[in-house]
Amino acid sequence: MRELSIPRVSRRSKHSWQGMIALLFVLVTAAASIYAFFWLKHDPNTTDLGDRLQEMSMLHPLGTDHLGRDVLTRLLLGGQQTLGYSLLALGAALLIGIPFGLISGYSRGWIDRIFMRIADAFLSFPDTIVAIVLSGLLGAGIGNLVLAIVVVKWVNYARLVRSTVLSEAQKDYVQIARTNGLSPAKIMRKHLLPHVIGHVLVLASLDLGKIILLISAFSYIGLGAQPPTPEWGAMLNDSRPYFQSRPELMIYPGLAIMSVVLLANMLGDYLRDRFDVKREVQS
Amino acid sequence: MSLLQVNRLSKSYAPDKRVLDEVSFAIASGECLGLVGESGCGKSTLARCLLRMEATDSGSIILGGHSIERMNDRQLYPHRKKIQIVFQNPSAALNPKLKIRDSLLDPYLQYRNELRLQHFRPASDQELVRQLMEAVELPESLADRYPHELSGGQRQRVTIARAISIEPQLVVLDEPTASLDVISQGAVLQLLTRLRTELNLSYLFISHDLAAVHQMSQRIMVMKDGRLVDQFPQEQLFAESRHPYTQELISIF
């Protein structure tokens, strides 16, 4: 017993460190975005060709880009864009996926069959293809990209929620709630949603990294955020011709994307461990 | 008039295999009726049919003068609060994500507007939780814990408290002590007896434990392969004229 408990304690504390670091960075990112919103002196889109490709200075802490725009300003506002649209896409996918999965898993029968065939149909499209097709049909732009991500991602949440609900709804406590006359909506909200939310959070934080990458990648190839919107992927693309002379113009947004994706994944790992630990205690 | 009247109730899962075969019995108000039988004889199916968790094939279930076996959800709703169930496994019967307090209040919050409570007279939800915890002899502080922080016996007391919280007329006890240790078993049986007299409840006490049924019930029924083979007052358990299967059950104990 003693030999077992020691590594478990150390393992758990390491995980909480990981979580703390991830949380800290999320807070730093949020603080930077808020700072950018209230106190930034430079306009992210004002060009000044006389001031282009400047080195670091007090006025421009990270220098200026090929149109003389302040890189730090664009990096911070780009974070708002990238994170904001990723969270928007994720939130919309959750708002569709969770109720869909709850209803499908709880009602079973023909509703479940119809819902799941719809989900299968959506699942058969790879996300990049859907994004490219939607851009082709509706025009390139961040809105259509978000739409494409929602179309592809909600299915995962619907399926995850459904499988959890399928097993939970058979348990005695749900049966008792039903014999007490609670409506299906009430049972789903009060009894089933709390079971689902942990799993969903884990998947969502792991997905966040993928969505950020997707938005950046599509902006990089010109199908996402359109110029002059500051967006990390678009900034990478803008700086491409100057890679030889000013490589840091690509390195800054690259580092920004990498660290945020890494942290989103760490947060996901941390949440997964946390919810696993809780389940271990319960059983 | 009896509180619950069951007439020739039958149910089968497969065409050739009847789980319940023409089961007929009645429970009077304030009475504890015991039901014994080995595992798989249909005891729990009967309990689930009485609560309309499962549909029946034929026969009738008359609760307080209303025939409930074919009612739809809306018609059934006003009758549901007359009957409550306590299951064998209290861990499955409590939502692990809800605090004890919230699980306890679940039925009460559903029915509060149409209830006329006689025994519990709560001024607030908090007060009802306190009275319920006191009624099942648990410290009130446990109400803010989660089910996994309680022992099996404590959890079963919570499910009993939930069942009596809306003062039903009938409580179906489906092997309520089977998953408990011997000491908790005795304490829970005593608690159930006390609550029955205090709240004037009727019980359908289902168990494979003949001794427990004999201790709890005024009348005893014996079930074998979905049929009720014997029904008799509690004091006649050891009478000469018992059904051979009843005598076999007695000899095992």
Verify that B250 and B173 share a domain, yes or no. Answer: yes
Verify that B142 and B159 share a domain, yes or no. Answer: yes
Q: Which residue of B has its CA nearest to A178?
A: B53
pLDDT at B18: 87
What's the CA angle centered on A165, arms A162 and A166, to 5 degrees? Answer: 85
Sorted by sequence, the CB contacts under 8 Å of residue B128 that are 6+ apart come out as: B104, B105, B108, B120, B122, B165
Domain boundary among B139, B167, B195: B167
The answer as to CATH 1.10.3720.10 being correct for domain A2-282 is yes
**Inside any domain, residue B151:** yes
pLDDT at A41: 67
**Inside any domain, residue B126:** yes
- Please identify among residues 180-199 of chain A the ones whose CB lies closer than 8 Å to any CB of chain B: 180-182, 190-191, 194-195
- Decide if A233 contacts A55 (C-beta within 8 A): no
Instruction: Provide the 3-class DSSP secondary structure of residue B52.
Output: coil
CB contact under 8 A, B94 and A177: no
**Inside any domain, residue B13:** yes
**Inside any domain, residue B89:** no
Q: What CATH number is associated with residue B38?
A: 3.40.50.300
Q: Does A243 touch chain B (CB under 8 A)?
A: no
Mean pLDDT, chain B cut into blocks of 10 residues (253 residues total): 90 87 93 92 92 91 91 90 93 92 93 86 90 93 93 93 94 92 91 93 93 92 92 87 88 80
Verify that B75 and B102 share a domain, yes or no. Answer: no
Half-sphere exposure of B1 (CA within 13 A, CB side): 6
pLDDT at B63: 93
- Please identify among residues 82-121 of chain B the ones whose CB lies closer than 8 Å to any CB of chain A: 83-85, 87, 89, 92-98, 102-103, 106-107, 110-111
Mutate to test the interface with B, among A171, A173, A175, A278 (most CBs of B within 10 A): A173
**Inside any domain, residue B87:** no
Structural domain range at position B34: 1-82+168-253
Domains held by chain B: number: 2
pLDDT at A282: 44
Domain boundary among B144, B167, B190: B167
B151: phi then psi, degrees, rounded to nearest 5: -80, 165
Verify that B144 and B202 share a domain, yes or no. Answer: no
pTM above 0.90, yes or no: no
Instruction: Provide the 3-class DSSP secondary structure of residue B61.
Output: strand
pLDDT at B40: 86
Q: Which residues of A touch B93 (CB under 8 A)?
A: 172-173, 176
Verify that B187 and B66 share a domain, yes or no. Answer: yes
Verify that B113 and B209 share a domain, yes or no. Answer: no
CB contact under 8 A, B93 and A173: yes
Q: Are strands B170-174 and B83-86 parallel, antiparallel or unpaired?
A: parallel
CB contact under 8 A, A281 and B95: no
**Inside any domain, residue B49:** yes
Q: CA of B174 to nearest chain A CA: how many angstroms apart?
A: 12
Q: What distance separates the 2 farthest-apart alpha carbons in chain B? A: 55
Q: What is the pLDDT along chain A (283 residues), one digit of tens a residue?
A: 333 433 444 445 555 676 677 777 777 777 776 776 666 667 777 777 777 777 777 677 777 777 778 888 888 888 888 888 999 999 999 999 999 999 999 998 899 999 999 988 888 888 788 888 888 888 888 888 899 899 889 999 999 999 999 999 999 999 999 999 899 999 999 999 988 988 898 889 888 888 999 888 888 888 888 878 888 888 888 888 888 888 888 888 899 889 888 888 888 888 777 776 444 444 3
Using CA atoms, how far apart are residues B202 and B167, in angstroms rounded to an integer?
11
**Inside any domain, residue B162:** yes
Q: How far, CA to CA in Å, does B122 sit from each of A194, B100, B108?
A: 28, 18, 11
pLDDT at B219: 94
**Inside any domain, residue B109:** yes
Using CA atoms, how far apart are residues A86 and A210, in angstroms rounded to an integer?
9
Sorted by sequence, the CB contacts under 8 Å of residue B226 that are 6+ apart come out as: B18, B19, B20, B21, B23, B41, B42
Using CA atoms, how far apart are residues B43 and B224, in angstroms rounded to an integer?
9
Domain boundary among B167, B198, B232: B167
